[in-house]
Structure 1
Amino acid sequence: MKRKVIPVLIGLLLIVLILAGAAGVFLFQRYSGSKEEADLNAYFGLNGSQEVAIVWNQELTEEKGLLQDERCYLKLDTVHEMLNERFYVDHNEKLLLYTLPEETVQIGIGEQTADGYTAAVEQNGDVWLALDYVKQYSDFNYALYTEPNRVVLTTNWDTLQSAELKKNTALRVRGGVKSEVLQNLEKGTKVTVLEEMENWDQVQTQDGYIGYVRKKHLTDPAEETPVKDTGYVEPDYTGNLRDHKIDLAWHQVTVESANSTFPGVMSGVTGVNVISPTWYSLYDNTGVVDGIASPSYVQQAHALGLEVWALIDDFTHREDNGVDPQEILSYTSKRTAIIEVLMSEADRCGFDGINVDFEKVTEDGSQDYIQFIRELSVACRQKGLVLSVDNYVPHNYNAHYKWAEQGVMADYVIIMGYDEHWGGSEVAGSVASLGYVTEGIERMTQEVPSEKVINAVPLYTRIWTTAEDGTVKSRAVGIQSAYDYMNKNQATATWDNSVGQNYVEFETSDGTVQIWLEDEQSLEAKINVMKEHNLGGIAAWKLGFDDGRKNIWGVISGFAAE
C-alpha cells in the first residue's frame, strides 16, 4: 500500500512544484522591472545627426536645435521665444545685429567671430544663432550633450523641488515597471521633482532626461532655489527721461513757410513745456527723409522755455510716393541713413528730441520697426536727445508695436488716446470716451513704467450726421467750433457719465446730429485718470484746435503742474 502511495505523493509534489514555478514565473514577469532600453533618438524626437533636442526649464520642447562644428545653434524665432528678443536679422543685407545702450553690434551671416566660430548660419531658409554668441548678451545657462544630441536651457531661477535617489534605480519613460528605461541612475543622484504621484514621481535629471522613478526610491522632496551664475549683467538703457512732468503740444506744420505760424498758435497757450512740430517724413522707399525744420523756430521756442521734439512720420508721402515702412526699415543701411539725417538736423537746428510717429507698421514689419527704435535710441542717447514714440491706444491687434521694448529703449511712450471713432467709422460715437482712454492707459502701464507713459488727448471732436437712410458721416472740428455749431442750432448738451463727456443730439434737415463734446470737463475727467496712474506726461493734438478757447490750456497744464 505504501509503495503505491509514495509515487502518487511524488507526482502531486511535482505538480505543485510545477504550478508554483509557473506562478513564480508569472509573478516575476508581471512585477519585475523591464530592462528594455528606450530608443533615445525617438524619445527626444531626433531625426538626423545634426538635430539637437531642446530641454527648456523642465520641458522637452518640440523645437530643435542644429549641431554644427560641435556647437549648438538655435533658430532666430526660438532664440526670441526662449532667450532674448533683442537679436535682429537683416535678411536683405545678411546681418545679425544686437543693440546695446551705446552701440549696435553687427556681424555678417556666415561670418566668424574673433573666437573663431560662426555667429549665425543660414540653412533651410532659416537663420540659426550660435548659443555661445547669444549667451554673450543674454541671461541664461546652457549645457550641450551628445549621444543623443540635446541642450538644456535654464532661464527660470524660481524655487523648485529636489530629491536624491536612495538606491540605484531606473528612470523610465512612463510610470510603471514595464515602461522602457531611459537611464540607469545611481544612488545619490540629484533630480528635480516635477510631479508627485502615489507610487511614481516625474523627475528631471541634470542632463535633460525627463521620466519616472519609483517614489520609494527618492528622498522626500525639498525646496531649493537654484544659484544663478550666468555671468550676465543687464545693460543700463537709461536715456534722457526728464525729472518733471511733460506737457506736450503738437504743431502741425505741412510746409516750410508754416513755421512762421509758431507765435500765433502759441498765443494764449499756457503750461506747455514741449512743442513737437511735424517736420520730417519718410519720402520714398530708398530711405530719403523729407524735412522742413527751421532753426529760428527752435530759437523762438527756447526763448519761451519750451523744448522742441521734432516729429518724423511714415505717412505724409505714402500716397504720392508709395512709401512702405517695412521696405525701408528692413534694410540696415536705410535705417542708418534716416538716423544720420535726424542727428545732422539736430545739430543744425538745435532741437531737443525726436518724436517718432509711424502709424503704418504692419505685423510683418514689427521686428524692423522696433530695431529702428533701438538704433535711434543709441543715437539719441549719445547726443542727449529725448526719444518719444507715438502709439495707437493699445489693443491686441496692434501689439506688434512692442510697447515693452519701446519702454526700455525710448524715454517716453505716447498713447494717442483718441480715434475711438474716426472719419471712416460706420457708426457714430465718441472720439475718446473715458472708458476707452482708461483701458488704454491701464494696458500700456502693464508693459511700460508709468513715468515713461504720456497720454495724448484730443482738442477736437466729430460732428456726426446720420441721414434717414442710415448713412453716417462726420467732420472733425475744434472744441469751440463744436460748441458754436451746437449753439447755432439752439441745442443744449448734458453730461453723460457713461462716456465722461457732454453729449448733444438734435435734428437738422440733413438728419440726426450727434456730438460727444471734448471740453474742459471731459479733459478734466481724463486727467484725473492720468493722475491716478501717475503718468509721466500729457500731450495734446493739436495747437490751433483750441479755437481761442484758451482756458483749455489751464486744465491741461493742471496735470503737469503737480
Structure 2
Amino acid sequence: MKKKVIPAIIIIALILVIGGIYAAQIAYQHYSYSDERADLNNYFDISSDTDVAIILGNERIEERARLLDGHYYMDFASVQKYLNDRFYYGEADNSLFYTTASKVIIAEVGSTTWTDSTGTSEDVGYVIARTEGEELYVALDYVKKYTNFFYEGFTEPNHMQLTTSWDDEKIASINKDTQLRLRGGVKSEILIDLAKGDTVTVLEELENWTKVKSSDSYIGYVENKRLSDITTKSPIPVTDYVEEEYTSLNRGHKINLGFHNIGGVAGNDTFSSVVAGAKSLNVISPTWFKLNSNDGDVTSIASASYVRAAHDKGLEVWALFDNFTGTGDFSTTEFLSRYKSRQNAIDQLMALATEMGVDGINLDFETIDYEDGQSYVEFVRELSIACRANGLVYSIDDYVPMHFNDHYNLREQGIVADYVIIMGYDEHYAGSAEAGSVASLSYVENGLINTTAKVDPSKVINAVPFYTRIWHTSGGALSSEAVSMQTAKDYISNHSIELTWDVEAGQNYGEFTSSEGTFNQIWMEDATSIGQKIDSMRAQNIAGIAEWSLGMETPDVWDVIAGYIEE
C-alpha cells in the first residue's frame, strides 16, 4: 500500500511543479516589460525625406511642415491659421506681402530677398517663399521676423515642436531610466528611452500611467512610479518681434456723420440745403471718389469750395471712395489682386485729398466676393498706411456682420482703421424674397453686439436709415421702392393707413389692400424708431452715429440725434 502512495505523491508534486512553472511563465509574459520598439516613421506618419510632423503645443496636428534645403517651411494656409494671418499671398504679383502700420514688405516667390515700400531690402540667405506643386510654402525663419512664436526641428524622424502660447504647464522629473511607450501598459511599444533626470511635460494623469511629452516632442506614456518632483512651470514667452503700433485719429467726442449722396458735380451745390436743418452734425461724407478701372484709376466729382463751406460750418469732410458707381469697365477682383493697381488708387486718393483739403477718407467697397476677401483686407491695410502718413481720418463702411461676410475681417479693420461704420440697414432690400423692415431693432442690436465683440466700441459708428421701403404684393409678385421719411408719411396719410407698434421691429407698422387687390406694407422709419436704435447704441457705448442719407429725413429726427450726441 505504501509502495503505491509514493509514486502518486511524486506525480502530484511534478504536476504542481510543472503548473507552477507554467503559471510563472504566464505571469512573466503578462507582467514583464515588452522591449518591442515602435516604427517612429509610422508614429509620425512620415511620407518623404522632406515631410515634417508638427506638434503644436502639446498636440500633434493634421497639417505638415517641409524641410527644404535645411530650412523649415509651412504651407501658407497653416501660417495664417496658426501663426500670423497678416501675411498675404498676391498670386497675380507672384509675391508674399506683409504689411505693418508704416510699410509694405514684399518678397517675390522663389527669391531670397525682400523689399519694402520705403526702398529698404535684404537678402536673408534662404528662399523666403516657394511653391511645391500648387502649394505656397513660407520659411518659418521669415515668419519669425514678424511673429512671436518658437519652433524647434528634430530629425530621424522629421518632426517639429511649434509653440504659440505660453500658458503654465505641469512638468515632472524621471527618477529612473525607463521608456516612453506608445500607450499605457508594459506591453505597449517603446517610443524612446528616457534617462534619469530627464524632464517631461505632464499631459494627463491616469491610475498607473501618465501621458507625457518628452523634451524632443514625443508624446506617450510613462509609469507613474517613474515620475518625481511634479510641479508647475511658467514658460518664458518669445518676444523677438514687437509689432509696430497702429495709431488712431480718434476725435475724442461722439461722431455724427451724415452721408451726402451726390450723383454728379452739380450735386455739390446741394450742400447748404441738406445741412440746413441738421443739428449736432460734425462730419459730412460726400460720395466723391469712384474706382473706375482695373488699374486703380479714380474719378472724382469733388469740390474744394464744398470743403471750405463745410469747414465754415464746423464740419469735417470724410470723402467717400466706392467701387460701384464708377462708369468705367472694370472688375473689383482685378483691381484688388495687383499691388500696382492698389497703390495707384491710393496715390490718386492722397493727391485728391490734399488738393481738396479733406479731413478723411471713407472707404465704401461693397459686394466683395469671398475669394477676394484677403485681397480686400490687404488693400484696407495699405490704404491705412497712406491715411496715417497724411493725417487723414480713415473710416470703413461695413455690412451688419454675419457669417456670409466674415471675409471683410472686422477685427483687422478695427486695428488698422480709425473708425468702423456699420451700415445698419438693408435688412430687407429691393431683391428680398419677403417684405420686411429696412432696419429692425433686433437687426441693429445684434449687429452692434457682434461688431463690438471684434472692434473696440470707441471705434464703432452705427449708420441708421433716413429712408424706408413701401412693399407691394400683387399676383404673388413682390416689389418695393425706397422712399424718404416725408414721402412715407405722405403715403400713410394719403391711404389712411392705421399704424400699430411692432415691438420686435421697434417701428410702427401699417398695411392696406388696394381696390386692385395689391397688398401694401410699410415699416416706418421715423424719430421714434431712430430713438429706439440710439438706445441700443448707448448700451454698447459706441463712438457715434451716421445717417444714410442727408435730405431724406424729417426735421424732428435731428432732435433725437442731437440729444444723443450732446449728452
- Give the TM-score normalised by structure 1: 0.95
Q: Which moved more, 1:390-399 or 1:264-273?
A: 264-273
Q: Which moved more, 1:245-254 or 1:108-117?
A: 108-117
2:459 is the counterpart of 1:483: no
Deviations 1:454-499 (A, max 9, x none): 10000000111222x3322111101111011111112232322221
**In structure 2, what residue type is equivalent to 1:479?**
M
2:457 is the counterpart of 1:450: yes
Q: Aligned residue for 2:387? A: 380
Q: Which residue, 469, 476, 484 being the options, matches 1:470? A: 476
Q: Aligned residue for 2:444? A: 437
Q: Aligned residue for 1:499? A: 505
Q: Which residue, 300, 311, 316 being the options, matches 2:320? A: 311
Q: Aligned residue for 1:81? A: 81
Partner Cα separation in structure 1 for residue 406 and residue 322 of structure 2: 19
Partner Cα separation in structure 1 for residue 508 and residue 410 of structure 2: 32
Partner SS state of residue 118, structure 1: coil
Q: Percent identity?
A: 47
Q: Which residue, 183, 188, 197 being the options, matches 1:179? A: 188
Partner Cα separation in structure 2 for residue 79 and residue 4 of structure 1: 86
Structure 1 residue 15: Cα displacement: 5.0
Structure 1 residue 216: Cα displacement: 2.5
Deviations 1:83-119 (A, max 9, x none): 0000111111111111111111112111114331121
Are 1:203 and 1:213, in contact at CA under 8 Å, matched by a contact in 2? yes
Q: Aligned residue for 1:99? A: 99
Are 1:314 and 1:360, in contact at CA under 8 Å, matched by a contact in 2? no
2:353 is the counterpart of 1:353: no
Q: What are the residue-to-residue correspondences of 1:140-179 with 2, within 5 Å?
A: 140-179=149-188
Are 2:55 and 2:61, in contact at CA under 8 Å, matched by a contact in 1? yes
Q: Aligned residue for 1:555? A: 560
Q: Aligned residue for 2:224? A: 215
Partner Cα separation in structure 2 for residue 307 and residue 151 of structure 1: 54
Partner SS state of residue 335, structure 1: helix
**In structure 1, what residue type is equivalent to 2:556?**
N
**In structure 2, what residue type is equivalent to 1:38?**
A
Are 2:401 and 2:447, in contact at CA under 8 Å, matched by a contact in 1? yes
Structure 1 residue 174: Cα displacement: 1.4
2:43 is the counterpart of 1:43: yes
Partner Cα separation in structure 1 for residue 215 and residue 559 of structure 2: 64
Are 1:433 and 1:499, in contact at CA under 8 Å, matched by a contact in 2? yes
2:108 is the counterpart of 1:112: no
Q: How many residues align?
A: 557
Change (3 A) 1:225 1:4: same
Are 1:315 and 1:359, in contact at CA under 8 Å, matched by a contact in 2? yes
Deviations 1:409-459 (A, max 9, x none): 111111100111111112111100101100000001101111111100000
**In structure 2, what residue type is equivalent to 1:192?**
T
Q: Aligned residue for 1:524? A: 531
Are 1:99 and 1:105, in contact at CA under 8 Å, matched by a contact in 2? yes
Structure 1 residue 25: Cα displacement: 2.4
Q: Which residue, 268, 271, 275 being the options, matches 1:262? A: 271
Are 2:499 and 2:509, in contact at CA under 8 Å, matched by a contact in 1? yes
Partner Cα separation in structure 2 for residue 172 and residue 316 of structure 1: 66
Q: Aligned residue for 1:509? A: 515
Partner Cα separation in structure 1 for residue 154 and residue 316 of structure 2: 57
Partner SS state of residue 246, structure 2: coil
Deviations 1:279-333 (A, max 9, x none): 112212232222211111111111111111111111124xx65532222111111
Q: CA RMSD in A?
A: 1.9
Structure 1 residue 22: Cα displacement: 2.9
Structure 1 residue 241: Cα displacement: 2.0
Q: What are the residue-to-residue correspondences of 1:361-440 with 2, within 5 Å?
A: 361-440=368-447
Are 2:295 and 2:340, in contact at CA under 8 Å, matched by a contact in 1? no
Partner Cα separation in structure 1 for residue 511 and residue 3 of structure 2: 122
In structure 1, runs of 5+ residues without a counterpart are none
Q: Aligned residue for 1:285? A: 294
Structure 1 residue 527: Cα displacement: 0.4
Q: Which moved more, 1:111-120 or 1:4-13?
A: 4-13
Q: Aligned residue for 2:210? A: 201
**In structure 1, what residue type is equivalent to 2:198?**
T
Deviations 1:340-385 (A, max 9, x none): 1111111111111111111121111111000000111111111111
Structure 1 residue 220: Cα displacement: 6.5
Partner Cα separation in structure 2 for residue 32 and residue 302 of structure 1: 89
Are 2:430 and 2:480, in contact at CA under 8 Å, matched by a contact in 1? yes
Are 2:292 and 2:328, in contact at CA under 8 Å, matched by a contact in 1? yes
Are 1:314 and 1:323, in contact at CA under 8 Å, matched by a contact in 2? no
Are 2:461 and 2:542, in contact at CA under 8 Å, matched by a contact in 1? yes
Are 2:148 and 2:238, in contact at CA under 8 Å, matched by a contact in 1? no
Partner SS state of residue 54, structure 2: strand
Q: Aligned residue for 2:347? A: 340
Partner Cα separation in structure 2 for residue 85 and residue 379 of structure 1: 21
Deviations 1:515-534 (A, max 9, x none): 11111111011001101101
Structure 1 residue 257: Cα displacement: 2.2
Partner Cα separation in structure 1 for residue 364 and residue 238 of structure 2: 41
Deviations 1:539-559 (A, max 9, x none): 00001111xx22212222332
Partner Cα separation in structure 1 for residue 269 and residue 369 of structure 2: 36
Are 1:315 and 1:323, in contact at CA under 8 Å, matched by a contact in 2? no
Q: Aligned residue for 2:117? A: none
Are 1:202 and 1:212, in contact at CA under 8 Å, matched by a contact in 2? yes
Q: Which moved more, 1:141-150 or 1:492-501?
A: 492-501
Q: Which residue, 247, 251, 263 being the options, matches 2:260? A: 251
Are 1:407 and 1:449, in contact at CA under 8 Å, matched by a contact in 2? yes
**In structure 1, what residue type is equivalent to 2:471?**
W
Partner Cα separation in structure 2 for residue 560 and residue 460 of structure 1: 21
In structure 2, runs of 5+ residues without a counterpart are 114-122
Partner SS state of residue 440, structure 1: helix
Partner SS state of residue 36, structure 2: coil
**In structure 2, what residue type is equivalent to 1:323?**
F
**In structure 2, what residue type is equivalent to 1:157?**
W
Deviations 1:203-235 (A, max 9, x none): 112321111111232237433322213323232
Structure 1 residue 13: Cα displacement: 5.4
Partner SS state of residue 465, structure 1: strand
Are 1:141 and 1:230, in contact at CA under 8 Å, matched by a contact in 2? no
Structure 1 residue 139: Cα displacement: 1.8
Change (3 A) 1:221 1:471: farther
Q: Aligned residue for 1:225? A: 234
